[in-house]
Amino acid sequence: MSNAEGVAALVDLDLLERVTVVVDAAARGNVDTTLRSIVDVADSVISESLAATVVLVDGQVSSGLRLAACRGLSDRYQNAMISDPDQFRASAAARAIRSGRPVLVSDLLGDEDYRRWWHLARHEGYRSLLATPMMVGQAAIGSLNIYRRVVGELPRQEILLAEIFARVAASVLQTSLLLADRDNQVSALGRLVRALQDQAHEHSNRLQAIGGLLAIGELEGAKAFISDVSEAAASLRSAVTQRIAHATTSGLLVALSGVAAQQGIRVEVDHRSRFERPPANLSDSQLVTILGNLVDNAIAAVADEPEFRRHITVLVLDQDDQLLIEVSDGGTGLTMSLDEALEWGATSKSQHLGAGLALVNRIVASAMGVLDATHHADGTTFTVRIPVVKAGPLSP
């Protein structure tokens, strides 16, 4: 073997070892560790690289994008991403995510499309970059980005490497979502079963009441009782289904409303509610877990309150760019910060939060959304905002 061949073999071996680091991190299933490994390896194996980043779609921030991992990126550059949403949305990463295709900017300072970034690129020494979308199905959930010190095209081999790293990152994120969704399905099914069991118990009580009236000859009383029950049930179903077309969601709200009514708690669907189907990044079971936990917590929050506070309002609203869920209760509020309540096992003074709120937060975060809580004079409102991710390719 010639010296040149020996050097080439060593380079290939070094590359293989670096790729193995990424594969090992992915095999362990830790998303953050995998993303950090990917940017570290990508920055080290792509020629003339100065920095590497992973950007994810994220409804928690105004730009809709979040810097999830980086290597070599200055604080100044990171701050520009966070503080200027319009500038972030004009980045190559954003373009790659919208189009679902790699974006190669061979001369950053000569491309008018990136004029917003010229002053930073000049200061940092960035002259070209490659943004590779991270695809799950036909939707991009993020982008792997390589910043280089020289102008010009990248070798095809390095472009392929970037695509491989992006696929690994997307695969790990998808696996994490699938595992969480499996747990959510079990939790959601259990929630529906418990709600139906509670309803069955209430129906049994009503049948016993009707039987008792008939046994003592109170035929008219039995008729009146049956009429009242039927009208109340029909009114509840109508109030929910005329605003919530999604069958799983409307069924859950009807069941939970019945459970709450047994405790003297009124659950109302906000008149602004309009909802047909979850976005592509949120499954039915995840939605049931989110809404069920929030309403359960609200029921527990007002269970010991005086009658004028024993009320809950639920808003589920499809908007152009997000799904908005609000659950408001008349309780006295959290006895801890939201951050504390989001920790596994954290409970409020009334012991009603448990791990439910932490599970809600995990699901919301996996759907790239945000969970917030506000306390006001009339009670507490939990708000969930989940960005709409289309099932097909994102428009450019």
- 150 vs 23, higher pLDDT: 150
pTM for this model (two decimals): 0.48
pLDDT at residue number 272: 92
pLDDT beyond 60 at 48: yes
Mean pLDDT of 194-214: 63
pLDDT at residue number 52: 92
Q: How confident is the model at residue 16 (pLDDT cuts 50, 70, 90)?
A: low
- 73 vs 169, higher pLDDT: 73
pLDDT beyond 70 at 347: no
pLDDT at residue number 130: 94
Half-sphere exposure of 174 (CA within 13 A, CB side): 16
Of 389, 387, 363, 323, nearest in space to 137 by CA = 389
Q: How confident is the model at residue 155 (pLDDT cuts 50, 70, 90)?
A: confident
Q: How confident is the model at residue 27 (pLDDT cuts 50, 70, 90)?
A: low
CATH of domain 3-177: 3.30.450.40
pLDDT beyond 60 at 76: yes
What is the domain partition of the chain in residue ranges? 3-177, 180-387
pLDDT at residue number 135: 85
Q: Quickly list H helices, the chain.
A: 3-28, 31-45, 75-83, 85-89, 92-99, 118-124, 156-215, 219-241, 247-262, 284-302, 338-341, 356-366
Q: Mapping DSSP to helix (H, G, I), strand (E, B) and coil, where does residue 64 land?
A: coil
pLDDT beyond 80 at 79: yes
Question: Which CATH class, in words, describes the domain spanning 180-387?
Answer: alpha beta
Q: Are 45 and 157 in contact (CB under 8 A)?
A: no
pLDDT beyond 60 at 394: no
pLDDT at residue number 208: 67
- State percent of the chain over pLDDT 90: 15
pLDDT at residue number 326: 95
pLDDT beyond 70 at 13: no
- 187 vs 262, higher pLDDT: 262
Per the structure block, which two tokens stand in for 175? 């696996």
Q: Are 338 and 372 in contact (CB under 8 A)?
A: yes
pLDDT beyond 80 at 297: yes
> Comparing 13-27, 73-87, 335-349, which segment has the lowest mean pLDDT?
335-349
pLDDT beyond 50 at 211: yes
pLDDT tens-digit map of 373-383: 888 878 889 99
> Comparing 59-73, 196-210, 305-319, which segment has the lowest mean pLDDT?
196-210
Q: How confident is the model at residue 240 (pLDDT cuts 50, 70, 90)?
A: confident
Mean pLDDT of 223-234: 59
pLDDT beyond 80 at 86: no
pLDDT at residue number 314: 94
Judged by phi (left if over 0) then psi (alpha if -120 to 50, else beta), residue 42 lies in: alpha
pLDDT tens-digit map of 316-346: 998 888 999 999 998 877 656 666 565 544 4
Q: Are 277 and 343 in contact (CB under 8 A)?
A: no
- 272 vs 395, higher pLDDT: 272
Identical fold, 3-177 and 180-387 = no
pLDDT at residue number 205: 66
Q: How far is residue 220 from each of residues 42, 204, 209, 224, measured CA to CA in Å?
A: 80, 20, 13, 6
Mean pLDDT of 191-200: 58
pLDDT tens-digit map of 241-273: 778 888 888 888 888 887 788 788 888 889 899
pLDDT at residue number 51: 92
Q: Residue with structure tokens 């009429």?
A: 227
- State percent of the chain over pLDDT 70: 67
